[in-house]
Amino acid sequence: MTWLNPTVNILFAFSATLGEGIGLPFSPAKTIFTGIGVLLGVVRDVVASHDKIIHLFERINFFLQRLNIYTEIPLTNDFTVLLGKIMAELLSILAISTKEMADRKMKKFLKRLMGKTEVEDALERLDMLTKEETLMAVTKNLEVTYHVDGNVTAVKGIVHDIDGNVKETKGIAESIDGNVKGTKDLVENIDDNVKVTKALAEDVGDNVKVTKHVTEQLKRIQLLRTWLAAPDPSINHNVACKTQHGGTARWFIQSSAFGDWKKNGSLLWVHGNPGAGKSILCSAIIEDIKNMREPRSALIAYFYFDFKDAAKRDVRGLLTSLLFQLGDDSDRCRDVLHQLYTTCRDGSEQPSVAALVGCLKEMLELPGQLPIFIIVDALDECPNTTGTPSAREEVLEFVEDLIGSNHSNLFICVTSRPEQDIQTVLNPLTPGSRRVSLHEEGGQREDIDSYIRSFVLKDRTMRRWREEDKELVITTLSQRAQGMFRWVFCQLDTLRRCMASSIRKALNELPTTLDDTYERALQEIPKEKWQHAHRLFQCLVAAIRPLRVDELSEIFAIKFDVDGSPSLMEGWRPENSEEAVLSACSSLIAIVENKGSKIVQFSHFSVKEFLTSDRLQTSKVGNACNYHIPLYAAHTILARACLTVLLQLDENVDKERLEKFPLALYAAEQWVEHAKFEGLALRMQDDMERLFNPNNPYLAAWVWIYDVDRGYARGPLAKHPSPPKATALYYASLCGFSGVANYIICTHGEDVNAKSGYHGTPLRAASYKGHIDVVRVLLDHGANVNTMDKKNTPLSSACRGGHLEIMGLLLEHGADVDVWYDSDDFVLHRASDTGQAELMHLLLRHNADVNARGYLKWTPLHRASFYGHTKLVRVLLDHGADINILSEGHNTPLCVTIGKGFLEVVQLLLERGADVDIKNEIDRTPYQLAESGGLTEIVQLLLKHGARKE
């Protein structure tokens, strides 16, 4: 077939050129030549390479563009219409061309190409040359060329104008007449390769299915991203990677401790004092593990705890981020996560922490699952100050539980300070060889030395110093660093501003510790700016999310009155926000880019820790102690500032005016959280009453900016605020302000049972959110404990929110215990599903129906048996649950627990008298279910209790 390659290639070009020439007077000829061009293209690609056939189908667009070129020359009206039809038909022709060729139905194929009687006439003339339809792809070009009425002269003129290649084309064309045998061989080879073409076409179909699958997965990823709203750790990772210099952490990556962990799994704990460079090391670990992800030999998820971002300070943020990353990397993990989404009423609810942990464990337990690496940085930046348990305690409990689950494919690395509560949990979980103290590692000191030298030699100012001065700085800082990257950075930042004559003096007066360094920085703040600096520090300490420069600078325009409400002084706003912020204390704060915005943050976590520490409070250095920041005072400043801004907005505010209040969006989103800090709301009662007063416009403006009921900022905004969709009492109850709720009821007489808002009533909103003080106020004023909307009652709302104390209070006030948890199951089913013994005891104490029917007519006993909750099965039986009750599929609790293989539950049910021979709807007994499942121990247990083998 090699000798035919030139023939096929030139005929392919010839068909396009000749077809255009003849097509001017005789439009069907153009269509026929186009079809022949397509077929010759296929033949040519078959001859060249089978792989190119698939390329032909992928490049339909290219072929259409080639046709479009011909439409740019002067054409008759008929031919213009014809070209449009050709381009439309080609989409269908190319899809079926392979099938038509394989079946040798070329006439049918060419008729479909045009669908006009003129084509049929042309085909009859072509049939006079040969009866073999399989030769049409080669011969129909010549047939049309020599038989088109009255246009031979025009065709010859075109042919004569072709350059020297035309002669070669004619020679090749003439050789076709003398090589009929060779042509037949070509056709036979075409027949052979048509089968390959068909197979490749089927592959195209398979690729379409793959493309559809990929599209569906991308949609699913976006759905899960929106639902989880997981914090993005890549921002922190990129910052940490940027701080690396050549060879950073290579000593650790090549260490035996790291190699042993990568090989054998379990926990690796890297700890170091403040400023030791733990985040930089963590970023190097992540980059190394990422190399394993590329060949699909491992999955990786990482997280950076961050004191600056509320979403990165608790176990929920950690779990949602890890789960989303794993789901993004793995289809099977994504399926597990999507199942959780479905369980949470298709994303209308947020999963509990327990559900998130269960989802991660399910991912780890998938058959044949790859090693999963989880790297967590700065665990100490997770707060340990408030809450029972605190946010840090919850994270430590999660790590302890995960390690205790003994998953052989789990690899966890944690970095933190060696704080006592962290040591207490992690030391017993970590083998001695996997506990790495950075201050004791020679490689860490070498990294610091390398960093100092690199900085001095590359800094635009320092590199111009005399060599002896540069060497002196490098030597001095290396000797006194004591393993602290942060200390070194601060000293370099100071030294680079020194004149040559003062370098030695500055080195002699270097502060010894980080505390000394920060005290010195505070002392250098001008006296006239100390109050502004202190306010900025307070806001940065308390901020729930990172503050933009313009948001933070708004604090300069607020006049705080000790006895009264603050006031906004618009004339006090600085002209240059960035300059105003940095002028307060540029060495302790930094402005960084974050998703297109400039945000303000402390230059290091150790700065925040120092400002809130007892060490600063008791400092004897100058006036440094005045900068000490209690958390309560910090939240007070920011909460009052937020309310001050919101009380500037009335019914006339629009988007243009809103832009004049940079802090407005943060205030709308976060003021409630600040006001709830340690009872702070009591100090702000007057301003809060102004905001919630139904006769004032401020509440409407607030919910116009931010939908507090759904928890997201509105957009795009309506032109002006409209009346709120819920009552003022509803919003006060939702936010948890009992004093404000009482004020609205007593002063404005709002109905405590008015239906409004997402949760339906004030009582349901407060019950779901866990605001027990508000629940008490509402109950005292006659709230209906059994009001129902779409099967939801206050009791089911409290259950959905996980608030047992509120459930108990509602039951004491007469709430119906047998209420729906969702559209299919009762609250007691929920207790059985989740294994919450305390919840089950509470419900049973109030006489919940132990045999209530839920989804598929399952009872709570079915559900507890299915999930293997042995203790709850015993409790339900003790309270009279029917042990042999049948579900919709005629399954007893014994059948459903056998299906899951829970031996302990099976034994308990048998001891309590479960029927061993009852059959389900497919006529299978518990014995047959166990035997077909290969559950040998359960089979023996059933036989021991009298089961028959039939």
Q: Is the distance from CB of 370 to CB of 297 less than 8 angstroms?
A: yes
Count CB neighbours of 76 within 10 A.
12
For strands 266-271 and 435-437, give the pairing: parallel
SS3 412: strand
Written as one string, the DSSP assignment of 441-489 is -HHHHHHHHHHHHHHHHHSTTGGGS-HHHHHHHHHHHHHH-TT-HHHHH
Q: How confident is the model at residue 618 (pLDDT cuts 50, 70, 90)?
A: very high
Q: What is the pLDDT of residue 30?
A: 44
| Cα gap 111→133, rounded to integer Å | 13
Indicate the SS3 state at residue 180.
Answer: helix
pLDDT over threshold 60, residue 347: yes
Q: pLDDT tens-digit profile of 229-265?
A: 999 999 899 988 988 887 888 999 999 999 999 999 8
Tokens of 304: 């950076």
How far, CA to CA in Å, does 840 sit from each of 362, 808, 892, 896? Answer: 25, 12, 21, 20
pLDDT band (50, 70, 90) for residue 173: very low
Same fold, 229-438 and 520-629: no
Sheet holding 597-602, edge to edge: 547-548, 597-602, 589-594
The region, left, alpha or beta by phi > 0 then psi within -120 to 50, assigned to residue 104 is left
Instruction: List the beta bridge partners of residue 590.
Output: 601
- Residue 285 has a pLDDT of 95
Q: What angle do helix axes 577-585 and 530-542 make, rounded to 10 degrees?
A: 100
pLDDT given for residue 199 in this prediction:
62
- Cα 608 to the chain's mean position, in Å? 29
Place of tokens 């007070």: 636
Question: Given pLDDT bands bounded at 50, 70 and 90, which one contains residue 1?
Answer: very low
Q: Where are the alpha helices (DSSP H) in 604-759?
A: 605-611, 614-617, 631-646, 655-658, 664-675, 685-692, 698-705, 728-735, 738-748
Closest CA to 306 of 239, 387, 359, 390: 239
- Residue in this structure with the two tokens 């988007």, named with its chain if needed: 655
Which CATH superfamily, name and number, covers 229-438?
Answer: P-loop containing nucleotide triphosphate hydrolases (3.40.50.300)
Counting other chains too, the contacts that 667-672 makes at CB distance below 8 Å and 24 or more residues apart are 667/641, 667/642, 667/643, 668/702, 668/705, 668/706, 668/713, 669/545, 669/706, 669/713, 670/544, 670/545, 670/642, 671/639, 671/642, 671/643, 671/646, 672/708, 672/735, 672/736
Say how far residue 889 (Cα) sits from the centre of its chain: 38
Per-residue pLDDT averaged across 561-577, rounded?
89
pLDDT digits (tens, 9 = 90+) for 83-100: 455 544 444 444 444 444
Q: pLDDT-based confidence at 293, cuts 50/70/90? A: confident
Question: pLDDT class for 921, splitting at 50, 70, 90?
Answer: confident
Q: Domain 853-950, what fold? A: 1.25.40
Please tell me the least confidently modeled range out of 37-41, 270-274, 632-636: 37-41
SS3 state of residue 689: helix
Has residue 133 got a pLDDT over 80?
Answer: no
pLDDT, tens digit, for every residue of 18-48?
A: 344 334 333 444 444 455 454 445 444 444 4
pLDDT at 117 over 60: no
Cross-strand pairs, 374 = 301, 412
Residue 149 has pLDDT above 90, yes or no: no
Where helices occur in 722-869 by DSSP H, the ranges are 728-735, 738-748, 762-769, 772-780, 794-801, 804-812, 827-834, 837-845, 860-866
pLDDT of amino acid 182: 54
pLDDT digits (tens, 9 = 90+) for 746-777: 999 999 999 999 999 999 999 999 999 999 99
DSSP per residue, 243-276 = H--TTTTHHHHTSHHHHHHHHH-EEEEEE--TTS
Tell me the average pLDDT across 771-788.
96
Is-contact 337 301, C-beta < 8 A? no
Contact 274, 417 (CB under 8 A): yes
The yes or no reply on domain 520-629 and CATH 1.10.8 is no
How much is the pLDDT for 382?
Answer: 92
**Looking at the predicted structure, is the pLDDT value of residue 66 above 50?**
no
Residue 312, both tokens: 């990165």
Domain map (residue ranges) of the chain: 2-200, 229-438, 444-510, 520-629, 853-950
Q: Which two tokens stand for residue 903?
A: 């031996």
pLDDT in tens, 185-195: 555 665 666 56
- Strand order of the β-sheet with 435-437 is 299-304, 372-377, 410-416, 266-271, 435-437
pLDDT at 375 over 80: yes
Burial 892-928 (b: 16+ CB within 10 A, else e): bbbbbbbbeebeebbbbbbeeebbbeeebeeeebbbb
Q: Is the peptide bond before 721 cis (omega within 30 degrees of 0)?
A: no
Q: H helices within 248-385, ranges in order? A: 250-253, 256-264, 278-293, 315-329, 331-343, 353-364
Please give the Cα distance from 14 to 139 (Å, whole number). Answer: 13
3 state SS of 433: helix
**Listed residue (587, 583, 525, 578) closest to 552, CA to CA:** 578
Question: What is the per-residue pLDDT for 16?
Answer: 42
Alpha-carbon dihedral of residues 917, 919, 924, 927, nearest 10 degrees? -20
Lowest-confidence segment of 47-51, 563-567, 818-822, 935-939 by average pLDDT: 47-51
Rounded Cα distance, 194 and 873, in Å: 66
Do strands 706-707 and 712-713 pair parallel, antiparallel, or not at all (unpaired)? Answer: antiparallel
**Residue 72 pLDDT more than 90?**
no
Q: How many CB atoms lie within 10 A of CB 264?
A: 11
CA–CA distance, 413 with 371 (Å, rounded to integer): 13
Each residue's pLDDT tens digit, 296-316: 889 999 999 998 888 999 999
pTM for the model stands at 0.67
What is the C-alpha to C-alpha distance for residues 587 and 522, in angstroms, rounded to an integer? 9
Amino acid at 541: V
Q: What is the dihedral of CA 326, 329, 331, 335, to 10 degrees?
A: 30
pLDDT at 694: 96
| pLDDT score at 242 | 85
What's the whole-number mean pLDDT along residues 488-500?
90
- HEC profile for 870-923? HHHHHHHHHCCCCCCCCCCCCCCHHHHHHHHCCHHHHHHHHHCCCCCCCCCCCC
CA dihedral of residues 596, 598, 601, 603 (deg, nearest 10):
90
Average pLDDT value for residue range 488-508 = 91
Secondary element (H or E) of residue 41: helix 27-48
> Model confidence over 209-224: pLDDT tens digits?
656 666 777 888 889 9
Question: Which residue would you say has higher pLDDT here, 34 or 147?
Answer: 34
Q: Are 277 and 438 in contact (CB under 8 A)?
A: yes
Element (H, E) at 593: strand 589-594
Q: Which residue has the tokens 């402390």?
A: 602
Report yes or no: 253 and 285 within 8 Å, Cβ to Cβ: yes
Paired with 372 in beta bridges are 299, 410
Mean pLDDT of the chain: 82
Cross-strand bridge partners of residue 598? 593
* Residue 349 pLDDT class (50, 70, 90 cuts): confident
- Give how far Cα 451 sits from Cα of 222, 288, 466, 514, Å: 41, 20, 19, 18
Tens digit of each residue's pLDDT (9 = 90 or more) over 706-725: 999 988 777 788 889 999 99
Higher pLDDT, 42 or 527: 527
Instruction: State in Å, rounded, how far the first CA of the chain is from the last one.
Output: 69
Contact 493, 585 (CB under 8 A): no
